[in-house]
Amino acid sequence: MLSTPELRQRATTVALCLLLAGSLAPAQTRQRPLRPDTSSPINARRIARQVLPSVVLITMEGGCFGSGFFVTGELIATNKHVIDCGGRGTVVSGNRRSSPIISTWTDPHRDLALVRVAGARVRPLTLSARGWPAVGEDIYVVGNPEGLEGTFSRGIVSSLRRTEGLLQFDAPVSPGSSGGPVVDVRGQVIGVAVASVRRGQNLNFAVPAQYLRALLARARRVGPDTAGVAGTRPKPTPAPSAPADSTNTHSPALRRWERNPDWSLYLSSAIGDTVVKDELKALIEAGLGVNTRDWRGRTVLHMTAMRGQAEVFRYLLLRGPIELNAADADGRTPLMIAASLGGHNPLGGLTSPWERFWTDPLCRQEGDRNAARQSEELMLWHALWQAERTMVLFLLGAGADVNAADREGLTALDYAARGGLTDFEQLIGRTGRLREESVCALKLAESPALRGFRLGMSLREVTARFSKFRMPETDSCGRLNLDFDEGRGALKNLALNPEELRGVSRVRLTFVDERLAYMRVTYTAETGAANPQEFRAALSNSLSLPGKWRVTGGGSNWDHAHVIGCDGFKVMTGYLVGPYVELHDVEALQILLQRKADQEVRRRREAEDERERRKREFKP
């Protein structure tokens, strides 16, 4: 997985093309910030009247545009990627007054910027001082999506991505929303819109206000930093294969690169996008080698793998020899990055997150906001899987080294295991290029049984082992969950042969189309081995499992989940209350998630049809 700075770069990479500039300076004259009543919420109409006049449109000569908002009488907050478009910038406020950007301050790690203008005479918004908001809290987003100035939308805080330093929200945003304020029910700024996942459903992100507050404090202490945060950056390293005289030093593209050598600015911000940006084409055609490293030590192929953009990879292959196995600052190759879902961890680094795909609300009833948030997180993972799978296949087909190791000795197989319920380990193993046999080749039909339960069993076969009980409903995606918990007496009272389940404290079973697709058996603490490593060794022996146990998910705690990936299914184990074992049918999961995605497409289409019907029937 990515480190926190890398993960933040990854998230801002996914950014909506929301372009904003940042410059702060001690204001000569300061307007008094609006201070709404903090004791109680105010209605949406009043918030819109309060916030809209302080939001601006930012346009850059490089052709980019985005949103921003006043935080002092002369300083406007936005995203760094907005002003990185290049050239001079202009700010258009709500009163249609245009002001040139005079100077800027930036925080590249948070993708924040402050820009200074003169004589705007606009009241600033108040930054919330209460820290992280609560999940489920109502929020409003203001900006200029697709250039539609003064757009006001409503949503909720979907999740707190504390590891990445981001807020997740579901209010609609589009390219051009970047840099716009995310405000709470009191009209105070809690974040700055920064990123979105194009293939997801309202999977949007904002940088929390506390980081903007820190940049504002710095801007008041030090002078402007137009090129970025004060400090030195490594100069880009020219590609060894590029002739010394092959570059055009007078090229605008090369001059822009010299000012800010950062490959993330030359790729689309959307995961899995098929667009090759004109800025990237111009830079390569001007003579910059495709193996050149940016100030973070990355090649363009590292960034392409992070964003799962296989079409960009195809383009690069046609532009000369490319280093498929180049290592970044952490020793990771592009294959490692793609195999770990771009290093992104949408499930929040939980000790055992993979059960959520089977037990969390997925095909939900409308109006359940908590279920909607959980569903969005799972669908974000699905979108990453789809995009990065194509990237992994392209890299393997081009001959990427499957045995290369990073600085910690981890290989692409280890990174694939971190990605969870993907089939990347099998894709790597099928190349036949692994030096040692460390991949499980068992088929789904050969999956081991746990206390008599086996993947693919029918619902009728499973329920025949228990006395009659109330059967739960199947959801609209064809999923049904059974949960037998010894703590509630279910195992002892319902099992027809309790001896088969001796030492078991809980059994969770999920069926897709009445076939067993997931099971988790949790054992009492007394029945487990002395430590998780011994428990895994005992499992490999008793279940006749080939392959190596690898860490899955984020983190490396002693009780963290480990996985063996087989052909069509995964075996996972960890410790949660007691030692547990899980079996996952990967193909059934793909079917389940695709049904959910299709359901969302139909829902949006039906909503659009209903809006059109109402328009036709409306009579003034």
Contact criterion met (CB below 8 Å) for 53 and 114: no
Provide the Cα torsion 290, 296, 298, 299; round to 10°: -10
Q: Mean of the pLDDT values across residues 136-158?
A: 90
Q: Mean of the pLDDT values across residues 91-107?
A: 82
Please name the residue ranges forming H helices in 161-297: 209-221, 252-259, 278-285
Strand, coil or helix: 478: coil
DSSP 172: -
pLDDT at 365: 54
pLDDT at 435: 84
Number of Cβ within a 10 Å radius of residue 123: 15
pLDDT at 226: 58
Strand, coil or helix: 459: helix
**Least confident piece of the model among 73-87, 468-482, 516-530:** 516-530
Q: Is the pLDDT of residue 38 over 50?
A: no
pLDDT at 330: 86
State the DSSP H helix or E strand holding residue 424, giving kind and residue range, or none if neither.
helix 424-429
How many angstroms separate the CA atoms of 106 and 179, rounded? 13
Contact criterion met (CB below 8 Å) for 389 and 310: no
pLDDT at 296: 85
DSSP output for 516-572: EEEEEEEE-GGGS-SSHHHHHHHHHHHTT--S--EE-SS---TT--EEEE-BSEEEE
pLDDT at 454: 94
- Which tokens go with 307? 């964003």
Crossing angle of helices 310-317/278-285, nearest 10°? 20
User: 3-class secondary structure for 132-160?
Assistant: CCCCCCEEEEEECHHHCCCEEEEEEEEEE
Domains in the chain: ranges and CATH: 15-221 (2.40.10.120), 444-589 (no CATH)
Strand, coil or helix: 204: strand
Q: Mean of the pLDDT values across residues 448-460?
A: 93
Higher pLDDT, 226 or 408: 408
For residue 594, what are the contacts with CB-CB under 8 A and spacing of at least 6? none
DSSP output for 357-421: HHHS--SPPTT-HHHHHHHHHHHHHHHHHHHHHHHHHHHHHHT--SS---TTS--HHHHHHHT-S
Q: Mean of the pLDDT values across residues 144-169?
A: 88
**Least confident piece of the model among 177-186, 304-313, 518-527:** 518-527
Q: Is the pLDDT of residue 170 over 70?
A: yes
Residue 445 pLDDT class (50, 70, 90 cuts): very high
Count CA atoms closer than 13 A to 276's CA, side-chain side: 17
Q: Is the pLDDT of residue 353 over 80?
A: no
Q: Tens digits of per-residue pLDDT, 236-263?
A: 443 333 333 344 445 888 988 988 899 9
How many angstroms separate the CA atoms of 7 and 330, rounded? 13
Residue 532 pLDDT class (50, 70, 90 cuts): confident
**Phi then psi dihedrals of residue 155, to 5 deg:** -170, -155
How many angstroms separate the CA atoms of 298 and 305, rounded? 11
- Mean pLDDT is highest, among 23-27, 114-118, 487-491, for 114-118
Q: Which residues of 492-528 are buried (b: 16+ CB within 10 A; e: fewer)?
A: eebbeeeeebeebbbbbbbbbeebbbbbbbbbeeeeb
For residue 131, what are the contacts with CB-CB under 8 A and spacing of at least 6? 210
Radius of gyration, CA atoms only, the chain:
26
pLDDT at 94: 74
Percentage with pLDDT > 70 across the chain: 81
Q: Mean of the pLDDT values across residues 470-495?
A: 82
Q: Mean of the pLDDT values across residues 101-115?
A: 88
pLDDT at 222: 79
pLDDT at 325: 95
Q: Mean of the pLDDT values across residues 543-552?
A: 87
Q: Is the pLDDT of residue 3 over 50?
A: no
Q: Is the pLDDT of residue 61 over 80?
A: no
pLDDT at 114: 94
How many angstroms separate the CA atoms of 186 and 46, rounded? 10
Vertex 547, ends 543 and 548: CA angle to 5°?
105
pLDDT at 86: 67
**Least confident piece of the model among 23-37, 84-98, 296-310, 363-377:** 23-37
User: 3-class secondary structure for 426-456?
Assistant: HHHHCCCCCCCCCCCCCEHHHCCCECCECCC
For residue 18, what are the contacts with CB-CB under 8 A and spacing of at least 6? 66, 67, 79, 81, 82, 143, 173, 175, 176, 177, 178, 179, 180, 193, 194, 195
DSSP 580: E
Q: Mean of the pLDDT values across residues 294-320?
A: 90
Q: Mean of the pLDDT values across residues 487-493?
A: 68
Q: Is the pLDDT of residue 232 over 60?
A: no
pLDDT at 198: 64
pLDDT at 47: 93
pLDDT at 55: 94
* Cα separation of the two ends of the chain: 57
Mean pLDDT of the chain: 81
Q: Is the pLDDT of residue 34 over 50?
A: no
Q: Mean of the pLDDT values across residues 369-376?
A: 72
Q: Is the pLDDT of residue 223 over 80?
A: no
Q: Tens digits of per-residue pLDDT, 565-620?
A: 998 999 999 887 788 999 999 999 989 988 888 888 888 888 888 888 887 876 66
How many angstroms separate the CA atoms of 432 and 7, rounded? 32
pLDDT at 124: 92
- Cross-strand partners of 114: 22, 105
Nearest CA-CA partner of 54 in 226, 156, 189, 213: 189
pLDDT at 266: 94
Residue 53 pLDDT class (50, 70, 90 cuts): very high
pLDDT at 489: 62
* Structure-token match 């971190």, residue found: 418
How many angstroms separate the CA atoms of 62 and 10, rounded? 23
pLDDT at 40: 56
